[in-house]
Amino acid sequence: MTLQQLKYIVALDEERHFARAAEVCMVTQPGLTIQLKNLEEEIGIKIFDRSKVPLTPTFAGVEIIQRARKLLREADDIRNFVIRQKNTLEGELKLGVISTLSPYLIPLFIKSMRELAPKVHFIIREESTYHLMRDLESGAIDVALMATPTGNPNLIEHPVFSEPFVAYLNENHPKASDDFYELQSTDKPELLLLQHEFCYNAQLLDICGIENTKKIKEQFTYDISSIETLKNFVRAGLGFAIIPQLSILNESHAELFKPFKEPKPVREISLVVTDTFSKKLLLEKMNEAIWNCLPDELKNDYKFRKIKWNDSPYFIENVKNAMG
């Protein structure tokens, strides 16, 4: 039994004529007749008495048609609810953001969203990539703003922009006066990573062509997850850093942040949801708000190389260890 078959019997009841009912349903008369026959055979009851003119419902058919009308009204109500749900711009939304992006983009994003959707209340949580994917699948958050592709078939990714990586050098670095940074073999052992940020670290290792962290000098052990701390390490001459471009928006001494030559290494930033997320218009507004608050240099066309992380042996190994 299908909704389409129920529509056919309701139309037949209203028109009491196969040809007119078929026209109303925008189907051929033989097609409508076959569907009615299939339905009657399925339920084992004749719905219409074809021997009478005009066509007349049977005693049981009257009850079936009444129930069909009710079901069709309820189906329309569900459809209208879905449309309203997709287009609603109010209520609560739980947003998870990777910690290497949140401090720099979220204040600008919230300011922009206040104008586009003032009735939406955002609950924002900073997490690592691994935890964001886990929380999306469990329903702990509704949307994640994170680097992609994730490689997770259960998640739907909506790319928003590409963020270049830049090198951060201390003032005594041999390339400190250059306009662009080209990777130096002497910098690889000095690369600074973030604790538990496996996605981010995997991207840095890819950029530097480092297969595993054993090739990085362990002068000291540090347990940090802040890009700002990495910057201070570099300023103190304690290492070399590659950081996202948005993290230097408010830097007063930008001369030591060096862009890479094209094709620039970038990370793709996306809004990520599960297939049960229904607020399509809100997702569009979030995409618009993020794009509007980006600096112009991130909107310009340039040649780039997207750095992936989900297939990195480093990422896979460390996530496996984190899961116990």
**Mean pLDDT for all residues in the chain:** 88
82/76 Cα distance (integer angstroms): 10
Predicted confidence at residue 223, as pLDDT, reads 67
User: What integer is the mean pLDDT of 171-200?
Assistant: 88
Same domain, 49 and 109: no
How many Cα atoms within 13 Å fall on the side-chain side of residue 310?
14
Give the Å distances, CA to CA, from 36 to 1, 11, 29, 43. 10, 11, 11, 11
Please answer whether residues 105 and 290 qualify as being in contact, where contact means their C-beta atoms are separated by less than 8 angstroms: yes
Predicted confidence at residue 74, as pLDDT, reads 85
Domain boundaries, position 240: 90-322
Same domain, 133 and 252: yes
Q: Residue 145: which pLDDT band, with cuts at 50, 70 and 90?
A: very high
DSSP for 42-97, written as a single string:
HHT---EETTSSS-EE-HHHHHHHHHHHHHHHHHHHHHHHHHHHHH--EEEEEEEE
Q: Strands 155-168 and 119-127: what pairing?
A: unpaired
Last residue of a domain, one of 64, 87, 110: 87
Number of domains in the chain: 2
148/129 Cα distance (integer angstroms): 10
Same domain, 132 and 159: yes
Tens digits of per-residue pLDDT, 71-129? 888 887 787 677 666 667 788 899 999 999 999 999 999 998 888 888 889 999 999 89
Same domain, 200 and 253: yes
Query: Could you tell me the two tokens for 322?
Result: 């984190």
Residue 65: other Cβ atoms inside 10 A: 20
pLDDT at 313 over 90: no
Q: For residues 222 and 108, which has the higher predicted lDDT (pLDDT)?
A: 108
Predicted confidence at residue 324, as pLDDT, reads 59
Q: Residue 308: which pLDDT band, with cuts at 50, 70 and 90?
A: confident
Predicted confidence at residue 96, as pLDDT, reads 96
Query: Could you tell me the two tokens for 312?
Result: 């990195």
Same domain, 239 and 121: yes
User: Crossing angle of helices 198-208/129-138, nearest 10°?
Assistant: 140
Last residue of a domain, one of 32, 54, 87: 87
Same domain, 165 and 311: yes
Same domain, 155 and 215: yes
Strand partners, 155: 274
Same domain, 72 and 151: no
Please answer whether residues 266 and 163 qualify as being in contact, where contact means their C-beta atoms are separated by less than 8 angstroms: yes
Residue 72 sits in a domain whose CATH number is: 1.10.10.10
Q: Euclidean distance between the first and final Cα of the chain, in Å?
A: 48
pLDDT at 321 over 80: no
154/273 Cα distance (integer angstroms): 9
Predicted confidence at residue 80, as pLDDT, reads 67
pLDDT at 220 over 80: no
Q: Report the helix count and the strand count for the chain, using DSSP H and E.
A: 11, 10
Same domain, 290 and 153: yes
277/105 Cα distance (integer angstroms): 23
4/234 Cα distance (integer angstroms): 67
What whole-number percentage of the chain has pLDDT above 90?
Answer: 46
Residue 214 sits in a domain whose CATH number is: 3.40.190.290
Same domain, 55 and 128: no
Predicted confidence at residue 85, as pLDDT, reads 66
Tens digits of per-residue pLDDT, 253-263? 677 899 999 99
Predicted confidence at residue 279, as pLDDT, reads 86
